[in-house]
Structure 1
Amino acid sequence: MESCKYCQKDDPDKPLWVQCSLCPQWVHVSCVPLEHLQDQDGNKIKEYPQSPKEINYFQCDGHDGDSKLTKKLNKRRRGKRSPSADLPSPPKKRYGLRKKQQIDYIALNEGDDKKLKKVHPHAEAFLKCFTKWENNSNVIDSTKLNEKFFQLREPLKILDPENTGMNLPKPQELGLTNQQRSLTVADITQILGGETPVDVMDVQSQQNEKWSLSQWNQYFSETPMDQRDRIRNVISLEVSHFDDKFHIDRPKAVEENDLVNIVWKHMGIEDPKPKVTRYVLMSSGNSYTDFHLDFAGTSVYYNLVSGHKKFILFPPTDHNLKVYTDWCQDLNQNLIFLGDLLDEGVAMELHAGDLFMLPSGWIHAVYTPRDSLIVGGNFLTVRDIETQLQVVKVERLTKVPKRFTFPMFDLVMGQTCEWALSPGVQNNHYKMTKGALIALQNYMKLQDTKYKPFNYPSKRSMIKKLEDLIGLED
C-alpha cells in the first residue's frame, strides 16, 4: 500500500486520505501542514476537513507553488432551501476513505528463521503450480500478432519481437556508453534523474514506501542480492511523461488496437491520455507478486529487458472470476494460495529479450528467480469490451481503491459509446459485437457512471441511440 508523502507511513489511525488533483500522490488529510489550509475563497482556516464531502481541492508540494488543501464552504442559510437541493449529486471525487484488504505476510515470518525474509511464503506453492500448468506452445510470430489480433485471447510469447515495432532507448544512442548492451537500472536512473520518486513494495508485507530512484538504484544495482535487507519490487513507475528523454515505441498491434488511441483520434480530443501506457518495472530476485487482475481488465505488453520471470495465468471464466472475487474478500487471503483453486492454467517462462502479450482479464501471479528489468504497459481494446467491464464489476465488488483503477475510465467508455454511434464505425475493422454494445449500454446506465456527452444533449439520449443501434444489430 502507498504511504503518506508527509509522514511516510500508512497509519490506520488516520483513516481520511486525499489524492492530489494533479498527480497520483495520496496523503493523510491531517498531515497536510495547517498553514496550507484554506476555504474556497482563499481565506486561511484552522480546521481540517472531517469527511471527504468537506474537501474541495488538494494539490501536493510536487508542483509549482505551495501545496494547498481547500475546504468547502457551507453557505446554506437556516430556514432557506438550498437552490442546489433539487440538482443531481455531483460526481464522486477522487479522494476519501481508503478501503483496503490488509495483507500481513510478515506475520507468516515470525520466529527465529531469518531465511524466510528472503523467500516469499507462497514461492514453493507457486513453483509446484507452475510445473502443473507449464506451457511452451503459446508462441507466435509478429505477422500473426498483427493480422490475427482480434482472435488472439490467450497469453502469447512473440518469436521475433524485433519485428513487432517494439523499441527501447539504447544506452549507446543516449551517450551513456560506447558498448552495445541492454538498458540497466543505473541507465534509467541517469536518464530520468535520481530525484524521481518511486513506489517501492516490500514483497513480504505488500506495503509501499516512497523512495527516490537513486535510493532504488543503490539497492538494486550496488547491493548484492544476499546483502539486501528485504525483497523489494517496483511495479508502478509510469514513464510516458518522460517521452522526450526516454522514448518507448510500443508494438504496432498495441498502438493500432489501443481503444484510447482510437477514440481520442476520432473525437479530436486534445486532453492528455490516461497515463498507463509505458511502465518500467524493476524486481529483485525472489520477488513475488500475488494473484491479481490488471486494472479494468486491460491487456498488457511486457518486454523483459534483463533477468528471468515466471507467470501463472488463469482465464476469466465465470468459475475463476467467482473464486477470485471470494478470495479477495476473504480475511485469510494471505494464507491461501489461489493457484490451487483456479482452473485451466497457463504457466510461461520469460528470459531476457522476450516480448509477452497478456490478454484481457487473465488472473495471474508472477515470480522472479533473479533480478529483472521490464518495460511494459496496459491498454484497453474493442476486442475485450465485455471482459473489461466484467473486471470493473469485480473491482467494485472487491472495493479496489480508486487510485488502483484505470484513470478516467468512465470518460473512455462514454467516448467509446459516441465513437460506436458514429457513421460507418460498425462497418469497419473495429466493429463492436452485439454483446459488447449491450455490455457498454448496461455500464453507461449505471448511476455511478458519470459522463457528459460531446455530441448528445445528455447521457440518457446517447444511451437511447445505443439501444437503437443494438436493435439494428438484431
Structure 2
Amino acid sequence: MDTCNYCQSNSPLETLWVQCDLCPQWVHVSCVPIKCIYYGPSKIPQRQVSEYPKVSKDIAGFHCSNHGSEGKLYVKAAKMKRRRSSDDQKTVNSPKKRYSLRSRQQIDYIALNEGDDVKLKHIHPHTDAFLDCFKRWENTTNFITAKNFHDKFASLREPLKIIDPQNSGMKTPKSSEGQPLTVEEISLILGDDYPVDVMDVQTQQNERWTMSRWNQYLTQTKAESRDRVRNVISLEVSHIKNLNIERPIAVEENDLVNVIWRSMGHGDEKPKVTRYVLMSAGNSYTDFHLDFAGTSVYYNLISGNKKFILFPPTESNLKKYADWCCDINQSAIFLGDLLTDGVAMELRAGDLFMIPSGFIHAVYTPVDSLIIGGNFLTVRDIETQLEVVRLERMTKVPKRFTFPNFDLVMGKCCEWFLSAAETDEEADRNLRDLISPKALHALIRYMEDPTTKYKPIHQPSKRMLIKRLQELNRI
C-alpha cells in the first residue's frame, strides 16, 4: 500500500516514508499529526515530541491509522537529541528511499524500483539479473526416470526432473470435472475464511489474507488490474482431508520422519511439512533461500511455468550465502552473480522436480502457476541438514520459518540409529549405513549443544544417549 493514507499521495519527492509495524501501509512521516508522535514505545508514560524525526534511525516504530484513530509514530529520545552529522544531512536530502521499521531487518525492494515519479509494481528489480543468470546456467540434461530415481536415491545429489512422473507414485487431486486442480477448487475445499500467508513480491513480506480474498485476486482479477504481484508459498495442507495428495514413492520411503516414526513415534505428531499448495501470480519472484533445515523438496507443477536457479551447498557457496543474509545491503545484491556451479531448469505443467538437500535457489514465475510439493529430511543428508540449521541459527532465522520440532526429530533419529545398529531388519540396516562416521559425529555435536532439548525414550538421559552414540562412533 504505497499511497500515504494521510494525504492520499504517493509522491517520491517526500523525504521520509515509514511502514506500519502491523500492516503493509506506508505513509509520509511529515503527514503524521505531530500530536501523534511520541518518545517510546518503551517510555512510560509516553511523552509527545515537539519536532518531526529527520532520518530513519530516529524512528522506533509506527502504527498507522488503520490501528487507531490517527495512528502513532514512536521516536528514539537519544537519537533526537544528538546533533545531526553531515552524513545524516545527505540522508535528509535523498528523495528515493523508504524504510521498513519492523523489529527485524526487512528487505526494501520497493526502493530499488523507484524512479523520480514511477514505481514499478509488477516487475521485481532482480528479474533481469535472474534471467541473465538463468541463461548462464541453463541445464537440459538433468533428467531421470522414476524407477532410477527410486533405485538410486541414496547417491543422487543434483536437482532432477522426473521424465515419467506418472510412474513415480505422485498423485494430486483433480477438479470436479476431472481436470487439473485450480485455485478456485482449492478455495472451495478449504473454505472462504481459511487463512493464507500472502507474500508481496516486491517487499518479500507476508500479510494474512483469507482464501476467498486470494481466490478473487488470482482467479477473478486480470493480471493488469492487480495492485501488486503476490505469491503464496507456505500453505501446508497435509491435515486437509479433501486434498488427497500422494507423494512419490521414493519420497515416502526415504523421508527420515517416516523412517524413525515407525519405531520411535510414541504418539508424537509428525511435523507438518509434507504437503504444500503454492499459488503464484505471473511475474512472482522468490529470492535466494535455503529450505528450512536443508530439507529436500518434491515439486509438482499443476499449471503454469516456473524457472529455477539452484546452487549446491559447497563450503564457498554457503559462506557467501551467509554473508549475503547478514548484509545490510542485501536487497541491492543479486546473489546469483556470486555463487558457482549453478543449475537452471524450467518447469512446465505436469513436470515433477526434485531438489536435494541444501541447494540455494531462487524462483521466477512468468505466468500464473499452481504447484503441489513438500519438504522432507533424509538419512542421506544428515550432515548437510545440520549445517543448514547451524546457518539458520547464525543468521537468526525466526522460529516460525524453521523446521518444526527439529530437536525432537534429531533426538529420535539418534535413538533410531542405536536401535538400527542392533536390528536384523534389512531396510533399517541399509538406511543406517547411509549415516557416515562424519555425519554421526555432526549429529553427536548437535545433541551435545546445551540448547538442543530432547528427553530420550529408551535411554535414561540425553547424556547417556550421547555416550552410547560416541561409543558406537568409535567402533
TM-score (norm: length of structure 1)? 0.77
CA distance in 2, matches of 1:427, 1:261: 15
Instruction: Give the aligned partner of residue 318 of structure 1.
Output: 315
Pairing partner for 1:328 from 325, 340, 356: 325
Pairing partner for 1:357 from 335, 354, 369: 354
CA distance in 1, matches of 2:315, 2:183: 40
Kindly indicate whether residue 242 of structure 2 is the aligned counterpart of residue 238 of structure 1. no
CA distance in 1, matches of 2:431, 2:206: 42
8 Å contact 1:100–1:401 — kept in the other structure? no
Following superposition of structure 1 onto structure 2, how do residues 55-454 of structure 1 map, counting pairs within 5 Å?
100-112=104-116, 114=118, 116-171=120-175, 176-177=176-177, 180-242=178-240, 244-422=241-419, 423-424=422-423, 427-431=429-433, 432-454=435-457
Change (3 A) 1:115 1:331: closer
CA distance in 2, matches of 1:114, 1:130: 28
Instruction: Give the aligned partner of residue 40 of structure 1.
Output: none
Pairwise CA distance, 1:109: 2.2
CA distance in 1, matches of 2:110, 2:199: 13
CA distance in 2, matches of 1:354, 1:333: 32
CA distance in 2, matches of 1:310, 1:268: 38
Please state whether the residue corresponding to 1:137 is helix, strand or coil: coil
Pairwise CA distance, 1:433: 1.4
Instruction: Give the aligned partner of residue 68 of structure 2.
Output: none
Kindly indicate whether residue 467 of structure 2 is the aligned counterpart of residue 464 of structure 1. yes
Pairwise CA distance, 1:241: 1.1
Please state whether the residue corresponding to 1:191 is helix, strand or coil: helix
Provide, for residues 155-204 of structure 1, a one-character-per-residue CA deviation record: whole Å limited to 9, x for no partner. Answer: 00000001101001111xxxx23xx4111100100111111100011000
CA RMSD of aligned residues (A): 2.0
Pairwise CA distance, 1:405: 0.5
CA distance in 2, matches of 1:221, 1:114: 27
Letter in 2 for 1:459: K
Count of aligned pairs between the two proteins = 379
Pairwise CA distance, 1:112: 4.9
8 Å contact 2:233–2:278 — kept in the other structure? yes
Provide, for residues 337-391 of structure 1, a one-character-per-residue CA deviation record: whole Å limited to 9, x for no partner. Answer: 0000000000000000000000000000000010000000000000000000000
Pairwise CA distance, 1:113: 5.8
Q: Could you list the runs of 5+ residues in structure 2 that have no partner in the other structure?
A: 1-20, 27-39, 43-60, 64-101
CA distance in 2, matches of 1:241, 1:344: 38
Change (3 A) 1:298 1:99: farther
Letter in 2 for 1:402: K
CA distance in 1, matches of 2:184, 2:243: 14
CA distance in 2, matches of 1:121, 1:429: 44
Pairwise CA distance, 1:110: 2.5
Letter in 2 for 1:386: E
CA distance in 1, matches of 2:118, 2:24: 24
CA distance in 1, matches of 2:116, 2:267: 58
CA distance in 2, matches of 1:10, 1:265: 48
8 Å contact 2:294–2:385 — kept in the other structure? yes
8 Å contact 2:273–2:374 — kept in the other structure? yes
Pairwise CA distance, 1:267: 1.3
Provide, for residues 47-100 of structure 1, a one-character-per-residue CA deviation record: whole Å limited to 9, x for no partner. Answer: xxxxxxxxxxxxxxxxxxxxxxxxxxxxxxxxxxxxxxxxxxxxxxxxxxx963
Pairwise CA distance, 1:7: 5.4
Please state whether the residue corresponding to 1:118 is helix, strand or coil: coil
Pairwise CA distance, 1:427: 3.4
Pairwise CA distance, 1:10: 9.5
Letter in 2 for 1:187: E
8 Å contact 1:100–1:400 — kept in the other structure? no
CA distance in 1, matches of 2:253, 2:200: 36
Please state whether the residue corresponding to 1:116 is helix, strand or coil: coil
Instruction: Give the aligned partner of residue 50 of structure 2.
Output: none
8 Å contact 1:284–1:368 — kept in the other structure? yes
CA distance in 2, matches of 1:225, 1:260: 40
Please state whether the residue corresponding to 2:400 is helix, strand or coil: helix
Pairwise CA distance, 1:101: 3.0
Change (3 A) 1:115 1:314: same
Pairwise CA distance, 1:121: 0.2
CA distance in 2, matches of 1:376, 1:278: 6
Please state whether the residue corresponding to 1:311 is helix, strand or coil: strand
Change (3 A) 1:114 1:223: farther
CA distance in 1, matches of 2:229, 2:24: 19
Change (3 A) 1:199 1:10: farther
8 Å contact 2:415–2:458 — kept in the other structure? yes
TM-score (norm: length of structure 2)? 0.77
Which is higher, the Rg of structure 1 or of structure 2? 2
CA distance in 2, matches of 1:319, 1:8: 37
CA distance in 1, matches of 2:328, 2:170: 41
Please state whether the residue corresponding to 2:219 is helix, strand or coil: helix
8 Å contact 1:99–1:399 — kept in the other structure? no
CA distance in 2, matches of 1:427, 1:227: 57
CA distance in 2, matches of 1:9, 1:120: 17
